[in-house]
Amino acid sequence: MPIDTRELMKQVTRIRVLTTRLVDDFIGGAYHSVFKGQGIEFNEVREYVPGDDVRTIDWNVTARTGHPFIKRFVEERELNIMFMVDVSGSQCFGSGSRAKAERAAEITCLMALSALRNQDKIGALLFSDRIEKFIPPRKGRQAAMRFVREVLAMETTRHATDIAAALRFLNSVQKRRSVVFLISDFLDEGYLKELRVTARRHDVICCPLTDQREISLPPAGLLELEDAETGEVALVDTASAEFRSAFAAAAEERRRKNEEAFAKCRIDALWVDTERPFVDDLRNLFARRQKRRAGR
């Protein structure tokens, strides 16, 4: 059943206001320094001054003028930013004030507005166990808000998750090197090979989404838990300390496996909780990337 249109627009407006403020206050300036352009491009020639690198001398202009001139280059800044967003059934879950789908929309909007401010192109790939929608990279504020609407409007799907298939599709259609934000709860397996291939072609940043009730359960007695992707229902006794311990251990094992997968592919990760603010974590991620880039 589709989400109520008026409620959808309220959510979109709230996210737009929130993320615009964050871009203005913090993200905009940091964004430019941590995402590398596609290369360098010629900017101008100017007269040589002592201390300039002699390897940059433009010998043709120098010969014509009789004075030494050098070439100046600037980094080609325009990027393709792709948002791969999981819209499978598990994204509708949220034990607090927001579902994982809404948090995914916030991240998408925040980074999309930052990209647009930097004159980058943005595109989106929404997936479950199939490709739900592909939007090729383009410029324009309307594109960013469209992504947000699409992510939120699809949150009631009951489809499963196939990250590997989504990555294969991305690699088949996106030939130009891009910055790829993969936003998912990563409740899937068998995607490591495709993730490694994608990381060689693109700058991938994984954004695992979590909810506290997927990590630990309170002692609330008998509960019916439903799998949002399959509809399967299980009756569990949360009063059992043994069950709660096993539940938490399984969640910790999933996280460990994902962390290992990201490390093997040399991929940065931004771990996002549905309730905890993620801006400080994003700031730390930017700082790590900036430090790593400066050390090259």
Q: Where are the domains of the chain?
A: 5-36+77-294, 39-76
Lowest mean pLDDT among 93-97, 190-194, 209-213, 246-250: 93-97
pLDDT above 90 as % of the chain: 35
Domain 5-36+77-294 listed as CATH 3.40.50.410: yes
CA distance linking residue 198 with residue 262, whole number of Å: 12
> pLDDT (tens digit, 9 = 90+) per residue, 143-184?
777 777 777 776 555 688 999 999 999 999 998 889 999 999
What's the pLDDT score for residue 58? 87
What's the pLDDT score for residue 193? 95
What Rg do the C-alpha atoms of the chain give, in angstroms?
Answer: 23
CA distance linking residue 283 with residue 27, whole number of Å: 8
Instruction: Fill in the DSSP letter of residue 66.
Output: S
Q: Dig out the tokens for 200 from the structure.
A: 């060689």
Question: Mean of the per-residue pLDDT values for the chain?
Answer: 84
* pLDDT at residue 19 tops 70: yes
* CB-based contact 178:82 (threshold 8 Å): yes
* pLDDT at residue 76 tops 50: yes
pTM of the model: 0.79
CA distance linking residue 269 with residue 281, whole number of Å: 10
